[in-house]
Amino acid sequence: MVLRPILRADAMSDDPLRALIRTIPDFPKPGIQFRDITTVLRDAEGFGLAIARMKVALAGHDITMIAGIEARGFIFGAALAREMGLGFVPIRKKDKLPGRTIGMNYALEYGQDRIEIHDDAVGAGDRIGLVDDLIATGGTAIAATKLLRSAGTEVPLAVFLVDLPDLGGAERLRGEGVIVEALVGFAGH
């Protein structure tokens, strides 16, 4: 038998979405269990199920706009925005946007990073649904929430395909007054 370095996250799960998420050990560095969502995207029913469940999570919060975090948050966020008839705002890594920007720095394990939006992308009166593929420590999503709120918007809710609850990010984001919904949880890192 050929051993492959790729494991199903939970082959026994009866949640088809969970079973479609592929776990790749030691990527991008030793000790990280990378939760690969490309295996959801390539499956038409799985991708549709993910968007349908995220749409349910976002319903009832009077969301006026979707914001997605670079890069995988763009895929789910843009599909959701179209599905819900809303506009989409990409939250980008620093120095990618061509116009005048506002940004927010956040700490990484080593050093720091920055996310940005155009300074006219959102404004007072917008109620933003924040979308990303995965929440781990929550650093990125909290920075995104603070950035959007600094522009005068409300961010009542954030939706993720995957939560890694042991890393505490969802709890931290809830501490910022954001309702956090995730479709699938995985123990560990």
Give the residue numbers marked as catalytic. Answer: 72, 109
- Letters for 78-117 (x = contact with ligand AMP by CB under 6 A, - = none) are ----------------------------------------
C-beta separation of 72 from 88 below 8 A: no
| Contacting residue, 138, 147, 159, 163, with ligand AMP by CB under 6 A | 138
Task: Work out whether 161 is an interface residue with ligand AMP (CB under 6 A).
Answer: no
Which structure tokens are listed for 54?
A: 């995220």
Dmax over CA atoms of the chain, in Å, equals: 59
Q: What DSSP string runs through 49-68?
A: HHHHHHHHHHTTS---EEEE
Least distance to ligand AMP from the beta carbon of 138, Å?
5
| Contacting residue, 13, 39, 64, 137, with ligand AMP by CB under 6 A | 137
| Contacting residue, 35, 121, 130, 144, with ligand AMP by CB under 6 A | 35
**Amino acid letter for position 79:** A
Task: Work out whether 139 is an interface residue with ligand AMP (CB under 6 A).
Answer: yes
Q: What share of the chain is helix, strand, coil (3-state, %, to 5)?
A: 30, 35, 35
Task: Work out whether 181 is an interface residue with ligand AMP (CB under 6 A).
Answer: no
For residues 22 and 24, what is the distance between their CA atoms, to the nearest angstrom? Answer: 6
Least distance to ligand AMP from the beta carbon of 106, Å?
8
Least distance to ligand AMP from the beta carbon of 147, Å?
13
Task: Work out whether 72 is an interface residue with ligand AMP (CB under 6 A).
Answer: yes
Burial class of residue 167 (count of CB atoms within 10 Å of its CB; 0-12, 13-18, 19+): middle
CB closer to ligand AMP out of 57 and 169:
169
Can you point out the beta strands (E) in the chain?
Answer: 7-8, 22-25, 33-36, 65-69, 87-93, 101-107, 112-118, 127-135, 154-163, 179-185
| Contacting residue, 126, 132, 154, 163, with ligand AMP by CB under 6 A | 132
The residues binding ligand AMP (CB under 6 A) are 32-35, 69, 72, 132-141, 169
